[in-house]
Amino acid sequence: MKTGVHGNLVSPAGIPPDARAVLRIDLAALRANWAALNKLSGKSECAGVIKADAYGIGLEQIAHALTREGCRTFFVATLDEGRRARAVQPGATIYVLDGLLPGAEEHYAGFSLRPILGSLAEVREWSAFNRGKGRRLPAAIHIDTGINRLGMPPAEVEAVAASPELLKAFQVALVMSHLACADEQTNPMNAAQRALFDTLRARLPPAPASLANSGGTFLGPDYHYDLVRPGIALYGGRAFEDGPNPMRTVVRLAARILQVRDVPAGNVIGYGATFRTARDSRIATIACGYADGFLRALTGSEGKPGPAGYIGEHPVPVVGRVSMDLITLDVSDVPADLVQRGGWVEVMGDRVTVDDLTDRAGTIGYELLTRLGRRVHRIYEG
């Protein structure tokens, strides 16, 4: 997208006049991220995690782009996401992380979705369904190695191992677990979980194995097994806490300037009067707020401006409270001809990344991406 007439990062050309905010999704960068992770995983298959509407970016578009790059296996969270993925990728392998919902076996089978069985009860139900149908449909076995969410604890793995007829009724296509601290590369829990995973999966029939999420993919070949399943790293987010982020930026958010006004020194800005101008200021109000996914915790209070957006090369900090539909920015130091009603401000991109924003807000990139509102106009590039 070309630079606009006001020095903005988004051109008005091709954008509907009613678009108040624009989310640019760089599919070429997404594919490059997958290719880099695929190379890093060596001989292991590199899947794509597209749950939560592909982390808020758009499940159908992301699935298409990843398939073009060579991805053949996808992970979703829900049955509905699985149906959406199947509609656009009829030949893909699709795993459902929620596991097997009671009484919903026909839905998995009907859409060729693979439940990730995380309890003895789920194994029994999938086994009985397959015997009743006279088929051996694939599923994954989820072992809990210490995160204590979904997955079979060691005692249930032993119970399954002691009843081999349960697993003979269906195809065990994958044995997997989930790392709790993969974003901390030196955390000893990573090695402890890997050791327990090896011990427990040895009690089950031989099957492909998967342990690594985005962070785990960077932990090295010992964690790659047969398949890695990156999520946040595909979308340009940080996979681990220490060191630079090697992923390319995929998502950029820009919002339209609704109004520019001069505010004398000593006046307050926004709800709660949290910010008072220390000098005569120019304030731009832009069409973006927490209803669009821009976190309320990014509010700029007195003496502590919020994160900076950009008009051209000029940083413009958030001042005042982030409200449902609006953000106010201090544009006093930007040349007046670059700040006009209808112009654009980049509030997330290469210079202020999703992780920059969420570090300041005390949360993680996953939360901001999945909150991006559907009223934001989306442009898929590359």
Integer Cα distance of 90 and 77 in angstroms: 18
3-state secondary structure of 156: helix
> Any idea of the CA torsion for 201, 138, 59, 223, to the nearest 10 degrees?
20
From the list 204, 214, 207, 177, the residue with the least C-alpha distance to 193 is 177
Q: Which of 133, 271, 290, 380 is catalytic?
A: 271
Q: What is the number of other CB atoms lying within 10 angstroms of the CB of residue 43?
A: 7
Q: Give 251's contacts (C-beta < 8 A, 6+ positions apart).
A: 23, 24, 25, 26, 57, 235, 236, 348, 349, 354, 369, 372
From the list 285, 338, 348, 287, the residue with the least C-alpha distance to 5 is 338
**Residue that has been written with the tokens 């060691």 in this structure:** 154
**Residue that has been written with the tokens 């699709």 in this structure:** 94
Q: Which of 51, 95, 290, 310 is catalytic?
A: 51
Q: Are 373 and 362 in contact (CB under 8 A)?
A: no
Angle CA 187–189–194, to nearest 5: 120
Q: Are 311 and 304 in contact (CB under 8 A)?
A: no
Q: Beta strand pairing status for 227-228 and 251-263?
A: unpaired
Q: Does 2 qualify as catalytic in the annotation?
A: no
Q: Does 380 qualify as catalytic in the annotation?
A: no
Residues known to be catalytic: 51, 271
